[in-house]
A and B are shown apart, each in its own frame.
Chain A
Amino acid sequence: EVQLVETGGASVQPGESVRLSCAASGFFFASYWMSWVRQAPGKGLEWVANIKQDGSETHYADSVKGRFTISRDNAENSLSLQMNSLRDDDTAVYFCARFSWYTGLDVWGQGTTVIASS
């Protein structure tokens, strides 16, 4: 079964850091781009970051550029999102998703919640 499982969500103070992880199984992880997408409470979906199959290319939404870092470990079938200098408006459910140029974001994890609030 193709599956993505996110972990690492936490409740922190603004300015602090959180690292999210996403464990992939059931498909050849190293063959796919991967993405992070978030959803603030009661709001729509917002793309956060993408990473190429070998990690050589990454892209970020302007709202997180310079604060968040996406990375991957193909040997461990794992995707990560390092989130620094968190702000109140980073509070959201964070989803990892498999990215195919043909089928789009075709497999999603269940999400993990990050709350940045004083």
Chain B
Amino acid sequence: QSVVTQPPSASGTPGQRVTISCSGSTFNIGGNTVNWYQQLPGTAPRLLIYDNNQRPSGVPDRFSGSKSGTAASLAISGLQSEDEADYYCASWDDTLKGWVFGGGTKLTVL
């Protein structure tokens, strides 16, 4: 069972806006920044959002992140078929002295 909690699944139709939530504690999300990763089937994770709401170069501005207290969320607007993937939130945990990941959310584009 993950220290950080995400819904196991989410879905939307092309063009829609979808949000994925991530909930942790004061030891991780509450005291540190949140990163989001996208993992397409059979591939390595790709950094999507860092420092709660920053996008690396090459990530479309359809992806956005936010954080409040011990929770964070990823929003995807203008949903596209190629967005179908697994999404993970992650944060540093001060007690583990390591990274904690959410359990992952499988996004389906209907």
Distance, CA A111 to CA B100, complexed state (A)? 19
Contacts of A106 in B (CB 8 A): 47, 50, 56
Contacts of B51 in A (CB 8 A): 102-103
Q: Which of A44, A47, A61 has the most CB of B within 10 A?
A: A44
Report whether over half of chain A's contact residues are helix, strand or loop; otherwise say mixed: strand
Q: Does B72 contact A (CB under 8 A)?
A: no
How many residues of B are in contact with the other chain, CB < 8 A? Answer: 26
Q: Does B103 contact A (CB under 8 A)?
A: yes
Q: Is the CB of B97 within 8 A of A95?
A: no
Instruction: Select A104's contact among B50, B86, B102, beta carbons within 8 Å.
Output: B50
Q: Does B37 contact A (CB under 8 A)?
A: yes
Contact (A104, B90) CB under 8 Å given A45-B104, A47-B100: yes
Contact (A45, B45) CB under 8 Å given A37-B99, A104-B35, A105-B99: yes
Q: Does A110 contact B (CB under 8 A)?
A: yes
Contacts of B50 in A (CB 8 A): 102-104, 106
Chain B: minimal CB distance from A55 (Å)? 16
Q: Please provide the 6 A-B residue pairs with the shortest distance between their CB atoms, ordered closest to farther.
A: A104-B35, A47-B99, A44-B104, A59-B97, A108-B44, A45-B101
Q: Is the CB of B103 within 8 A of A44?
A: yes
Distance, CA A109 to CA B100, complexed state (A)? 19
Q: Is the CB of B44 within 8 A of A45?
A: no
**Chain A residues near B (Cβ < 8 Å):** 35, 37, 44-47, 49-50, 59-62, 95, 102-111
The contact string, 1 if C-beta is below 8 Å from chain A, for chain B 77-110, is 0000000001010100000111111111000000
Q: Is the CB of B46 within 8 A of A108?
A: yes
Contacts of B102 in A (CB 8 A): 44
Q: Is the CB of A105 within 8 A of B44?
A: no
The contact string, 1 if C-beta is below 8 Å from chain A, for chain B 31-55, is 0010101010001111100110010
Distance, CA A47 to CA B102, complexed state (A)? 11
Q: Is the CB of B99 within 8 A of A111?
A: no
